[in-house]
Amino acid sequence: MLTAAAATREAIADLEVQQLIQATDWVVLHPGEQVDTSIEFGMRDLQIAGDGAPTVDEAAVAEFALAVGRTTDSGRHLLGDAVELRYRLPRLWARVVAGEVAVWKARKVAQATTSLPPDAAAVVDQRLAWCAHRCSFAEIERQVEKARAEHDPDAAEERRVAALERRRFDIDLDHATPDGLVHVEGELDLADAVALEEQIRAKAATLDLELPLDVRRSMAAGLLGAGDGDGDGESSVEVMVYVHLRPDQPSADVENTRSTVTTEHVRDWCQRAGTKVTIRPVIDLSAELSTDCYEPTEVMKEQIGLRDRQCCFPGCTRPARRCDSEHQVPWPEGPTASSNLAPACRTHHRLKTHAGWDYQRVPGVGFVWTTPTGRTYVSPFVTDTPADDPADSTEQTDVPDEPLLRHTP
In the prediction, which pLDDT does 91 show? 96
Helices 103-113/137-151 angle, 10° precision: 30
What is the tens place of the pLDDT at every residue in 192-209?
Answer: 777 788 889 889 999 888
116, 31 contact by CB (below 8 A)? no
What pLDDT is stored for residue 138 in this prediction?
A: 82
CA gap 143, 88 in Å, rounded: 15
Mean pLDDT within 289-313: 91
Question: Greater confidence, 205 or 229?
Answer: 205
What pLDDT was estimated at residue 123?
93
Comparing 271 with 68, which gets the higher pLDDT?
Answer: 68
Residue with the larger pLDDT of the pair 248 and 375: 375
Average pLDDT, the chain: 81
pLDDT at 309: 86
Integer Cα distance of 250 and 260 in angstroms: 10
**Per-residue pLDDT at 107:** 96
Answer whether residue 386 shows pLDDT above 70: no
Q: Is 25 helix (H, G, I), strand (E, B) or coil?
A: helix
Work out the pLDDT band at 104, boundaries 50, 70, 90. very high
SS3 133: coil
Give the residue-averaged pLDDT of 51-71. 91
Burial 111-143 (b: 16+ CB within 10 A, else e): bbbbebbeebbbbbbebbbeebeebeeeebeeb
Residue 157 has pLDDT above 80, yes or no: no
Percent of the chain with pLDDT over 90: 42
Using CA atoms, how far apart are residues 278 and 273, in angstroms rounded to an integer? 15
Tell me which range, 173-182, 238-247, 251-260, is most confidently predicted by mean pLDDT: 173-182
- pLDDT above 90 (res 275): no
CA distance 372 to 66: 12
The shares of helix, strand and coil residues in the chain, as percent rounded to the nearest 5, are: 45, 15, 40
Residue 397's pLDDT is what? 36
Q: Per residue in 389-404, pLDDT tens?
A: 333 333 333 333 333 3
Q: Structure pTM?
A: 0.66
Q: Which of the pair, 317 or 41, is modelled with greater confidence? A: 317
- Identity (one letter) of the amino acid at 363? P
Q: Give 230-255 pLDDT, tens digit per residue.
A: 444 444 445 567 777 766 766 667 76
Q: Averaging pLDDT over each range in 92-96, 275-279, 298-302, 313-317, which range is the top one?
A: 92-96
pLDDT in tens, 120-135: 999 999 999 999 988 8
Boundaries of every domain in the chain: 2-162, 190-227, 237-280, 290-393
Q: Residue 288's pLDDT band (boundaries 50, 70, 90)?
A: very high
Q: What is the pLDDT of residue 95?
A: 95
pLDDT tens-digit series, residues 135-149:
888 889 888 888 888
Q: Which residues of 244-266 are buried (b: 16+ CB within 10 A; e: fewer)?
A: eeeeeeeebbbbebbbbbeeebb
Write down the pLDDT at residue 398.
38
Of the candidates 122, 188, 130, 74, which has an alpha carbon nearest to the alpha carbon of residue 139? 130
What pLDDT band is residue 317 in, cutting at 50, 70 and 90? confident
The predicted structure's pLDDT at residue 400: 37
In a 3-state reduction of DSSP, which class is residue 389?
A: coil
Q: What pLDDT, on a 0 to 100 scale, did the predictor assign at position 409? A: 31
